[in-house]
Chains A and B, each alone.
Chain A
Amino acid sequence: MESPASVAAALTAEGYLPDERIAQVVYLAGRLQKPILVEGPAGVGKTELAKALAKLTGRRLIRLQCYEGLDESKALYEWNYKKQLLRIQADSDRDWSEIEDDIFAEEFLLTRPLLEAIRSDRPVVLLIDEVDRVEIETEALLLEILSDFQVSIPELGTITANSTPLVVLTSNNTRELSEALKRRCLFLHIAYPEADREKEILLHRVPGITEHLATQIARLVRSIRALDLKKAPSVSETIDWARTLLALSIEHVDEKVVGETLHVLLKYQTDIEKAAKEFATPAASSS
């Protein structure tokens, strides 16, 4: 990663088309050794970015999927207390101080994604997905890792990363993340791509698509996104739609085609009706 341009080229080679802002932030993250916090609507390729980064750097991808109720024992580490209990029972005649040293050894440690990323021998890409889903209190778990790349375990001491992991956090912005978390990250907002870039993405990701069809789809999707919808079509849905049209061997989109295939792009009935009213002829939308 020598320059933003080379980052962009490498990402493109992995099938991820970055815009200038993305390439620059990724480059900086490598330089400053800081985590990237990626935010944006669902389906604009936030997770894909992390995957592409892993492929590009040849690192292993370790993923922590966040959800409400995620806690230390699922994210960081946990003592395998069943095994510990059995161990204590097995030599109940031995001196306690010996056993105590024994049961808090690494053998009884269950590593979870965060600790695994830290302890890994080879450099890794750590993806912390949908970080906005955990409660604000749980975010604090991440802080030590994000700023110092280390984990403190009371019984074992502090474990520092062998090599700095490349950390990517994603958020759908369903709630505000804490200042402390944001401060430690580089912030990257990925919006829906411009029509031109979306066309490039289609050409890249949908083999066999014609330039004409890709242009048309990209423009149409831009105009659908401008409607007031419950859920605007994401990039992945656009790709799905392009694939559908290709499978139906359609080369030119008209009102009828839109009316018949809109459900691939939009997932709410009210949205489909609204878009159909705008873009499909009455005859097509009633069929």
Chain B
Amino acid sequence: MIDLLTDFITELRAAGIPVSMVEAIDAMEAVRHVDLADREGLKAALGATLVKNERHYQAFEVAFEVFFAHHRGPVAGEDHSTQGPSPNGSQQAGSGGGEADLDSLLESLFQALLSGDMASMEAAARRAVTEFAGIEPGRPVGGTYYLYRTLRRLDLDALRQRLLDAVLAEVDDHDQLDQRLAREDVEAMIGRLRRELADEIRRRLVADRGRLSVARTLRQPLVEDLNLMHATRTDLEEIEEVIDPLTRKLAARLARRRRLLRSGRLDFRKTVRRSLASGGVPLDPAFRKARPHRPEVFLLCDISGSMATFARFTLQFTYAMAAHFSRLRTFVFIDTVDEVTRYFGPGVDFGEAIGRIATEAEAVWLDGHSDYGNSFARFEERYGPEISPRTTLIITGDARNNYRPGKPEVLSQIRSRARALYWLNPEPRSYWDSGDSIMGRYEPFCDGVFEVRTLRQLEHFVEQLSLPGHLVGTRQGNAQPQATLSR
């Protein structure tokens, strides 16, 4: 068991979940109190001791499924062993597969799902995998392909329709609400079946190739390591959930000075007045409240084509930040600049705001190719006087200027008015200053330039803000993922 656990913890660490020594010991201790036959119990125990962040739970689950897979006996009426299907048999079944078999299988799946009988659903799913996945031993794949093969044969759409008909038959025709709920129930059933199939395939893979190698193929980047430049829709949704805590952190960092001053200076008048209650002894000194430091943030986002996905993310971040900063102003630019603060008012839906920015904001002047020089010049001209020594400027962009004049002197002028200027660049550092990127020319005027391609790097940026005398050397700003992992 100890070996198994050690391997498991190594795998978690490899997947990016920080597991400390103490936590590993806790897990060992916890396992002693758990009934090992109770798989869910074991999972809960390991989860509670090893994973301290819900974001990592999914990665933990995948690893757990691989390491502590069910070992089930063969199902009645099925002579394949679960240890590993014979290659030839399943191969033939996968390509040929009797139609009668398929029908009876579908029928039992249908009945099991409709009655909510999980055990027979699992049994049927296992049969389906044996029959149709055509698992070839030794192939180093993650199982997506096998899942696809199984699903193609099972024809889930037809199954869904049958379930739907059966469920809807019991529902009042005119009750639209009930119909909708019924439809969602069916979706949930289908989802459960898909999960079960995927689990089953994974179990076969583990039996075939061993834990470590399957775990390695299944490993996926954690949310904080997703590349924001190439995030998919589902990725963005996950990211969305994580952003809010991060913005709070940023707000706290920028407002930090206020807290340090909170104790304030002694309010002599008030103290004397209060001391009258205790016969002239100043028992209860009163302090002047320090005037709150109100951080003011100007955010400039490049929203040109090359930055599309990233811009969506930045705006999302802005949207979340708007809740914490009363004085946050957002500007978007492509080859000229426009203020979009008004689209992010309270109670505005994010999707709506994005739509309005895309259609209404005037970020294009000539041809819709990035022009940092002109954008900065226009920014300086229109909003320059409003920048004060309390303003923190944050620019997000790849600094790809399409070989136009970059006008770094304008940026320097803008910087001289502000409290600080940070630049977040979503490109890998090694790409900077290659091709039409002129990051190097802007860098001297920034208090910090950061490569921010992942949430982890964004978090690092936020953390840097809090260090005393932060960001003096601009080059040190970048975290190597490995370095952060070990923290």
Contact = CB atoms under 8 A, between A and B. Distances in A.
Interface in A1-57: 3-4, 20-21, 24-25, 27-28, 31-32, 34, 36-37, 39
What is the predominant secondary structure among interface residues of chain B facing chain A?
helix
A212 B148 CA distance: 38
B54 A39 contact: yes
A44 to B, nearest CB: 12
Given A186-B49, A189-B57, A135 B252 contact: yes
Contacts of A222: 184
Given A32-B26, A187-B52, A254-B177, A174 B47 contact: no
Interface stretch (B75-83, B277-285, B387-395): B277-285
A219 B181 contact: yes
Contacts of A253: 177
Given A20-B41, A21-B47, A135-B252, A269 B52 contact: no
B366 to A, nearest CB: 36
Nearest to A31: B33
B283 A25 contact: no
Contacts of B181: 216, 219-220, 223
Contacts of A25: 44-45, 48
Interface stretch (B226-234, B243-251, B400-408): B243-251
A1 to B, nearest CB: 11
Contacts of A4: 38, 41, 44
Interface in B413-435: none
Contacts of B347: 268-270
Contact of B177 (A3, A82, A255): A255
B236 to A, nearest CB: 12
B45 A173 contact: no
B20 interface: yes
Contact of A85 (B52, B57, B281): B281
Interface stretch (A92-100, A117-125, A175-183, A239-247): A175-183
A187 B48 contact: yes
A223 B278 contact: no
Given A21-B44, A89-B281, A175-B248, A219 B22 contact: no
B306 to A, nearest CB: 28
A274 B350 CA distance: 13
A11 to B, nearest CB: 15
What is the predominant secondary structure among interface residues of chain A facing chain B?
helix
A173 B278 CA distance: 44
Given A24-B44, A220-B181, A82 B284 contact: yes
A92 to B, nearest CB: 12
A187 B248 contact: no
B245 A174 contact: yes
Interface in B156-188: 175-178, 180-181, 184-185
Of B29, B49, B177, chain A has the most CB atoms within 10 Å of the CB of B177
A173 B48 contact: no
A254 B175 contact: yes
Interface string A253-274: 1110010000000001110001
Given A39-B54, A82-B284, A222-B184, A183 B22 contact: yes
Nearest to A184: B22
A279 interface: yes
B244 A24 contact: no
Interface of A: 3-4, 20-21, 24-25, 27-28, 31-32, 34, 36-37, 39, 69, 81-82, 85, 89, 135, 173-176, 179, 182-183, 185-189, 216, 219-220, 222-223, 226, 228, 253-255, 258, 268-270, 274, 279, 281
Interchain residue pairs A-B with the least CB separation, the first 3: A24-B44, A182-B52, A186-B48
28 contacts: A21-B44, A24-B41, A24-B44, A25-B45, A25-B48, A27-B33, A28-B30, A28-B34, A31-B30, A32-B30, A32-B33, A85-B281, A89-B281, A174-B248, A175-B248, A175-B252, A179-B20, A182-B53, A183-B52, A185-B52, A220-B177, A220-B181, A223-B180, A223-B181, A255-B177, A268-B347, A270-B347, A279-B180
Given A82-B283, A220-B181, 6 more contacts: A28-B45, A37-B52, A183-B23, A188-B48, A270-B349, A279-B180
